[in-house]
Structure 1
């Protein structure tokens, strides 16, 4: 059951933009049952996440663990670190060399190196879900279940606009990580969430609004643990999700897979808005039967996929623990 962190060297990788990397280190963690003894679930991390998906410091420990929705007594859990995400010594300075599809290709190389024929599920939230969509478009038989949460198969103009602003802050601010995080928190939450949490209250010690001290705290906290180069790279990935970029439409690309697709949106998401997900679902339903749509009901916006575990548990039960669904 122990977490094992290992390294695969991806040799002579040429990015979509034509840049050759002679060696790309792909670090990964394994949890749960020993590889090749149980169904494999690949978990793709989001912008500031990493391969530590469960355990004491796991960012999705409420969802993945002993007796949890994704039970490490039943499955092998695999998680890759996006190369350059700051969780190993490898740094990518030229972040514009990479697109989301490049990371999907790297992850597929990783699966191949581990001799995994097919995963049981690929699950990811936000940019991690975007990588999952790209993986399915590149390798239609790579999984039985695709579970993209709070994401979509493409970055919308709204998403690209926010990523552009993030990039401007990251390249021009005197406190780039802190300031970019402050802006990002406005995208990750919602007006209703802030209203419920802060109620226009004042921090008496600092003589500022509590919302301001909370945003400043999140900026400072990220600055202490996150590299500027990693932020630039992950923001670039968020901006470049698009399975149709090199031609082909949704039906041509997704029509090749037999995988079940379980789209989970968040009704208050201001980042990957639910209407886009519903449009995706309705488009897929025209040519695919095993596609499903559900929404997390929350005031907390985009971050609800990290907060609303009971709802996620219920929505994912049909995939991961069908025999325990409560009617």
Structure 2
């Protein structure tokens, strides 16, 4: 793992006008040295972190030497959402989690980018929560990102999303085993009935007589318990329902039309979390208003998690964005 670096943001003004002073933000860089190559900002998902490649890297199939996002050509920057606990310092966890929004995180990420003397970004890419932050970053600085790539996400929280956030929040605040139980529920939104049928086929484990699906869910619950903290889970879950680039602004058509970036919306046809039809509607609204917006769809039985599974399709979609041959011609 590359070194985890710290940067201190003196004044972080939240949407509610409260000010957070001297906020420690932790980040990692991969590939080329900052200032020597185009910068790709990778935003992590709900239980993710800045360790995108290498040992335990969660996007090794997409990013790396001679990969689609080639570390021999790009600088990869990944910033931890404050309070996600990846720095290992419990003092940096956030208790008043309902004070924060995705817009606050996006503003903070721009502060980090500017403090690192980065003038523009070749791309901002992220899946799920990370993609929602990418949408906000593009609205805040509509001229400073060449390619905005929100994957398995949306520019807004739907009623379905808000409902699931409430269920998760209730589990996290009322269960005697909150992280474990919340994760079990979440896994059923991240996958599909077809995916689980394909994987488990109603098999029973001979060792403990439980269905394999039960063992799998319990495993994911225990695994997250071992590496994630309750305050972090509460914050990340809450952020999802604050997703709305139109809040206090103009209508979505006007807002996105003002973004100068190329926008590559990538959905998953079976996503039961950020449903693909919402992105299709966005694209249909905007394709006649903005020339440089594209819609792509990953076909998979695996649902929301397909952006971490169907790497072949994702690589094919992103090749035209990141392939050095295309860029230089």
The match for 1:225 is 227
User: Which residue of structure 1 lines up, in the alignment, with residue 93 of structure 2?
Assistant: 91
TM-score by length of 1: 0.97
C-alpha contact (below 8 Å) 1:4/1:31 kept by paired residues? no
Of the candidates 251, 258, 261, which is equivalent to residue 259 of structure 1?
261
The offset of 1:204, in angstroms, is 1.9
Distance 2:18 2:203 in 1: 51
SS of 2:4 mapped into structure 1:
strand
Are 1:51 and 1:81, in contact at CA under 8 Å, matched by a contact in 2?
Answer: yes
1:19 matches 2:1: no
CA–CA separation in structure 2 for the residues paired with 1:228 and 1:52: 20
Question: Deviations 1:147-178 (Å, cap 9, x if unpaired)?
Answer: 00000100100011001100000000000000
| C-alpha separation in 2, matches of 1:73 and 1:4 | 18
Distance in 2 between residues matched to 1:214 and 1:118, nearest whole Å: 43
Give secondary structure in 2 for the equivalent of 1:265: strand
11-20 vs 74-83, which deviates more?
A: 11-20
C-alpha deviation, 1:322, in angstroms = 5.9
- 1:5-16 residue pairs with structure 2 within 5 A? 5-16=4-15
In 2, the alpha carbon distance for the partners of 1:142 and 1:153 equals 18
Equivalent position of 2:174 in the other structure: 172
The match for 2:310 among 308, 321, 325 is 308
CA distance in 2, matches of 1:157, 1:273: 11
RMSD: 1.3
Contact 1:177 1:228 in 2 (8 A): yes
CA distance in 2, matches of 1:313, 1:292: 16
- 1:281 CA displacement: 0.9
2:124 counterpart of 1:122: yes
Counterpart of 2:203 (choices 198, 201, 204) is: 201
Q: Does the alignment pair 1:111 with 2:110?
A: no
Equivalences for residues 1-327 of structure 1 within 5 A: 3-88=2-87, 89=89, 90-321=92-323, 323=325
The separation in 2 between residues aligned to 1:259 and 1:18, in whole angstroms, is: 29
| Distance in 1, Cα, partners of 2:194 & 2:266 | 21
Equivalent pair of 1:155/1:240 in contact (CA under 8 Å): yes
Q: How many residues align?
A: 324
| Structure 1: 5+ residue stretches without partners | none
Q: How far off its partner does 1:301 sit?
A: 0.4
Q: Distance in 1 between matches of 2:8 and 2:288?
A: 41
Return the offset for 1:286: 2.6
Deviation at 1:324, TM superposition (A): 7.4
1:7 alignment partner, SS class: strand
TM-score, length-normalised on structure 2? 0.96
What 5-or-longer segments of structure 2 have no aligned partner?
none
